[in-house]
Amino acid sequence: EDGNTEYWTCGTCGKYFSDAEGKTEISLSDIVIKATGHKLTKTEAKAATCTEEGNAEYWTCETCGKHFSDADGKTEIALADTVIKATDHKMTKTEAKAVTCTEDGNTEYWTCGTCGKYFSDAEGKTEITLADTVIVAAGHKMIKTEAKTATCTEDGNTEYWTCGTCGKYFSDAEGKTE
């Protein structure tokens, strides 16, 4: 908006003066101070994340501090109108899986379908890595049974190994041939 210099108006004749004594007559156009125009700075748009707000692009005038939705400074907006709310996590639970001698297991965990991050809690407060959920298979705990020759009254056996964890029997010490 245009501004103006200080001036006085005569209540009787309606003329304008630059002094209170009414000695220096001026015209109304002499008192106008032209508007300086907005000095706009652009704020880039920022996408909202699951946990942080984002914003639409907007411009702020360095002189008057007002916010605008356009680069010409014609459409004034409230700063609150630029806010894009956080999306919140969209959680999917992965159930715990027991470890076996030969297969890894995992603890229960949640994955956000929006940001792809992993969490140890359904609320998405404690971020973890997928590796944090893995329970590594320890392998078989092999116990060797020696070969025993059969007798007339007792059966014999070949040598074999039993896993002390899963109870399976193997013909080799590595637990490869069940």
Residues of the chain with pLDDT under 70: none
pTM for the whole thing?
Answer: 0.57
Q: What integer pLDDT is reported at residue 5 of this predicted model?
A: 93
Cβ(176)–Cβ(141) under 8 Å?
no
For 174, how many CA atoms within 13 A lie in the half-sphere containing its CB? 2
Cβ count within 10 A of residue 127: 14
Cβ(88)–Cβ(50) under 8 Å?
yes
| Pairwise CA distance, residues 106 & 135, whole Å | 5
Cβ count within 10 A of residue 140: 21
Question: What is the DSSP secondary structure assignment for residue 102, as one 8-state letter?
Answer: S
Beta strands in the chain (DSSP E): 3-4, 8-9, 16-17, 25-26, 32-33, 40-43, 54-55, 58-61, 67-68, 76-77, 83-84, 91-94, 105-106, 109-112, 118-119, 127-128, 134-135, 142-145, 160-163, 169-170
Q: What integer pLDDT is reported at residue 37 of this predicted model?
A: 86
Question: 144-161, pLDDT tens digit by residue?
Answer: 999 999 999 999 999 999
Tell me, what amino acid is at 126?
T
